[in-house]
Amino acid sequence: MTTPKYYITTFGCQMNVHDSEVLAGLLESMGYISASSCEEADLILMNTCCVRENAENRTFGHIGNLKSLKDKNPDLIIGICGCMVQQPTELEKIRITFPWVDLVFGTHNLHQLPELISRIREDKSGRIFEVWDCDGAIYEGLPVKRDNPFKAWVTIMYGCNNFCSYCIVPYVRGRERSRQPEAIVGEIRDLVKDGVQEVTLLGQNVNSYGLDLPETNWSFARLLREIAKNTGIRRIRFQTSHPKDLSNELIETIVEIPTICRHLHLPVQAGSTRVLELMNRCYSKEQYQELIDRIKNNIPGIALTTDIIVGFPGEREEDFRDTLDLVKQVRFDGAFTFIYSPRIGTPAANMSDPVPEIEQKLRLTNLIKIQNEISLEKNKAYIGTLQELLVDGPSEKNPQVWAGRSSQNKLVHFKPAPRIKPGGFINVRIAGAQTFTLEGEVIG
């Protein structure tokens, strides 16, 4: 018998990207190897996202396209997992519309994959739809097949308790559950032994790390200090921080520990206090501005990025002007910008006063234009400075040019030299700047 091959397609955030690394690890522990395309795979998994409607539509398009592969090869196993299938309506839609899907499992039971595949292989005629709706326990020690040999994702907590009124994540990922600090530190120590230089700690709101642990005096800042002291990791990143509870202790910890990268992703979502209230974000425009001032005053050289939603129900022209005003005042290094997408089951989906689509698009274009001007100006300010980069390797678009990331998470292009290796650190002087990238000249 030939070795079976798997192919995984991932939609959504880093949490899903990392879950797919675990799925790949589980499959390899069963003897599967990675296929280079869907066409040559014996098992295809689609790890889905439902944060906005377009993510779901793309997934449905992909599942539709798989029918022809199943027609050609009836032994092919097609599986769907991830956030989308945690919604009963979407699960039903998959069951009815896509009979060629053999296997569905959710975000709380991905550790079951080997068992579910064995069951499918034994009973070729049956389909398995197994989605848990309770908050899963935390399963430690699952195998991980990392995509990158020197950068790793480390989940520190699962779920979200914040229930922002537009957001589906708490419904599909369950309540907050923190991993034990010893498990996190142990994992990072092993990663360092394996050659990893940089970890990104993942959680929907890392600032509430530890609040659910039985030992009461844990905080995210304390976890960072433990990691910095006890693992030997060269660089620490994390995402995402909710502005409502970013503590002074965290700011002090970033200042104290040089291995914590000088970059904070701090989603603001909107600049109008009225809209922020409708969104249930638990801070006002002024409180966000005050927090930004505190961060800038205490952590020199910090880069700030954000997420912004435009066209939330009830967002008036003057509310949108508040968002532009905040963007100009804070001068973010970059922003992920989204048009509001109603999600069934969230409070905002039932709110009155929707913003017409044409108006949403105009606001988005306007916002992106202003943010891009600021991003370019902020990047230009780096010209002439020295930056240490962790080298990624040849750039995707042009392999003659290599890319690396600075502590501020800036993507820097430079000319390769023989002694420079992916995963190594180099120093560059910044010689040029565009909206999304910098150019550096290698020093020494």
Question: How far apart, in Å, are the Cα atoms of 51 and each of 11, 60, 83, 340, 401?
Answer: 10, 14, 8, 10, 35
* DSSP conformation letters of 297-337: HHSTT-EEEEEEEES-TT--HHHHHHHHHHHHHHT-SEEEE
* Residue nearer to ligand SF4 on the CB measure, 204 or 323: 204
Q: Which of 306, 199, 303 is nearest to 259 (CA)?
A: 199
- Choice between 23 and 169, CB closer to ligand SAH: 169
Pairing assessment for the beta strands 386-394 and 402-405 based on DSSP bridges = antiparallel
Q: Does 49 bind ligand SAH (CB under 6 A)?
A: no
Amino acid identity at 77: I
Q: Least Å distance between CB 299 and ligand F3S?
A: 27
Applying CB under 6 A, does 51 fall inside the site for ligand SAH?
yes
| Widest distance between CA atoms in the chain | 66
Q: Which does 343 bind (CB under 5 to 8 A by kind): ligand SF4, ligand F3S, ligand SAH, none?
A: ligand SAH
CB of 432 to ligand SF4, least distance (A): 35
Q: Which C-beta is closer to ligand F3S: that of 241 or that of 272?
A: 241
Burial of residue 2 (CB within 10 Å: 0-12, 13-18, 19+) is exposed
With CB under 6 A as the contact rule, which of the stretches 147-155, 179-187, 334-342, 362-370 interacts with ligand SAH? Answer: 334-342
309 binds ligand F3S (CB under 6 A): no
Beta-bridged to residue 442, according to DSSP, are 428
Residue 307 found at the interface with ligand SAH (CB under 6 A): yes
Q: How far is the CB of 167 from ligand SAH (least distance, A)?
A: 4
Q: Which residues bind ligand SF4 (CB under 6 A)?
A: 160, 162-164, 167, 169-170, 204-205, 242
Which is nearer to ligand F3S, 41 or 168 (by Cβ)? 168
Could you tell me the smallest distance in angstroms from the CB atom of residue 317 to ligand SAH? 19
Site for ligand SAH in 343-362 (CB under 6 A): 343
Q: Which one of 7-15, 221-229, 260-268, 381-389 is the stretch in contact with ligand F3S (CB under 6 A)?
A: 7-15
Residue with tokens 């274009």: 365
Residue 49 sits in the site that holds ligand F3S (CB under 6 A): yes
The amino acid occupying position 229 is K
Q: Nearer Cβ to ligand F3S, position 186 or 342?
A: 342
Angle in degrees, 0-180, between the axes of helices 248-256 and 285-298, rounded to the nearest 10: 20
Residue 3: partners with Cβ closer than 8 Å, 6 or more residues away: 31, 32, 33
Give whichever of 59 and 387 is closer to ligand SAH, judged by the CB atom. 59
Nearest to 374 by CA among 319, 337, 338, 428: 337
Residue 169 interacts with ligand SAH (CB under 6 A): yes or no: yes
Pick between residue 12 and residue 79 the one whose CB is nearest to ligand F3S.
12
Q: In angstroms, what is the minimal distance from the CB of 14 to ligand SAH?
A: 10
Alpha-carbon dihedral of residues 105, 107, 109, 110, nearest 10 degrees? 80
DSSP β-ladder status, 425-433 and 386-394:
antiparallel
Q: How many residues bind ligand SAH (CB under 6 A)?
A: 17
- The reply to whether 267 sits near ligand SAH by the rule CB under 6 A is yes
Q: Does 206 bind ligand F3S (CB under 6 A)?
A: no
At its nearest, how many Å lie between ligand SF4 and the CB of residue 167? Answer: 3
Residues 428 and 218: their CA atoms lie apart, in Å, by 38
Q: Which single residue brings its beta carbon nearest to ligand F3S?
A: 12
Q: How far is the CB of 157 from ligand SAH (least distance, A)?
A: 11
Q: Which of 8, 16, 199, 302 binds ligand F3S (CB under 6 A)?
A: 16
Binding mask 198-227 for ligand SAH (x = CB under 6 A): ------xx----------------------
Q: Rule CB under 6 A: which of 128-187 touch ligand F3S?
A: 168-169, 172-173
Report the alpha-carbon distance of residue 118 to residue 379 in Å, rounded. Answer: 52
d(CA 254, CA 364): 33
What is the CB-side half-sphere exposure of residue 392 using CA atoms within 13 A?
18
Report in angstroms the alpha-carbon separations of 317 from 35, 280, 356, 359, 364: 50, 20, 12, 9, 12
* Helix 317-330 / helix 357-380 crossing angle, nearest 10 deg: 10
Q: Which stretches of the chain bind ligand SAH, using CB under 6 A?
A: 51-52, 166-167, 169, 204-205, 240, 242, 267, 269, 307, 309, 338, 340-341, 343
Q: Which stretches of the chain bind ligand F3S, using CB under 6 A?
A: 12-13, 15-16, 49-51, 83, 168-169, 172-173
